[in-house]
Structure formats: C-alpha cells, structure tokens
Amino acid sequence: DAGITQSPRYKITETGRQVTLMCHQTWSHSYMFWYRQDLGHGLRLIYYSAAADITDKGEVPDGYVVSRSKTENFPLTLESATRSQTSVYFCASTSPLTSPEINEQFFGPGTRLTVL
C-alpha cells in the first residue's frame, strides 16, 4: 500500500512488557517522526529521524527507544511499558526535497495503545 502505515492499529499490553509499534512509508521520505497524543496535551514529539541511522530525542523520549536501519521503517519500542504510556501514537514523515515550500508532514492512522 502506498503512503504511511502503522501497525498494529490497536494494542493492549501489561505493565512491564516490551512493545514495538511499527511505522512504514513508501515515499522514501528522509525524515520520520513519532508523536503521542493525549487529552489535555495535544501531540507531543517523542523521537525523530533525519535519515537511516540518525535519530534524535524530542520532547518526551523517556521510556522509548527507536531505530532506523532502513529509510522506510521507523519502529518505536517501549522497553518496559507503564500505564502513563497509554496513548495514541502517530508516525509521520516528510521530505524537504519533494515539497520545500510547504514542508508538510504526512501522518499515519495511529496506534491506540493501552497499558494495563
């Protein structure tokens, strides 16, 4: 499928378990991002990546790990899930080369994660 996809769309897990959320984009965009969205906080940046093997922390990185071995994939891992990580997670991508005047980010459909 063309575009940006996330899997799973819904996940229920227990405190202390490791969880990996997947993000895949077909545009070969260099930049990819992970955000979480919570009531009262809006969208907050967790991590971002400028290219394969280049990642950087955002506003709320604690408890999360990312990797980017291939341009099209950007998985987000919760090493030991906590209840405070219950949220909706959005992946996004952009390329400064394809739309330099606009620089829009394209968002995936989101993953709703519940940590019990």
Partner 1 sequence: EDQVTQSPEALRLQEGESSSLNCSYTVSGLRGLFWYRQDPGKGPEFLFTLYSAGEEKEKERLKATLTKKESFLHITAPKPEDSATYLCAVRISGYALNFGKGTSLLVTP
110 binding partner 1? (CB under 8 A): yes
106 binding partner 1? (CB under 8 A): yes
Give min distance, CB of 80 to partner 1, in A: 25
- Closest residue by Cα to residue 80 from 46, 55, 115, 33: 115
Burial class (CB in 10 A: 0-12, 13-18, 19+), 27: middle
Please give the residues from 29 up to 48 whose contact with partner 1 meets the rule CB under 8 A.
31, 33, 35, 40-45, 48
- Closest residue by Cα to residue 54 from 43, 69, 44: 69
Residue with token string 């990819």 = 32
Q: Among 27, 58, 71, 114, which residue sits at the site for partner 1 (rule: CB under 8 A)?
A: 58
Residues that bind partner 1 (CB under 8 A): 31, 33, 35, 40-45, 48, 50, 56, 58-59, 90, 92, 94, 96, 101-110
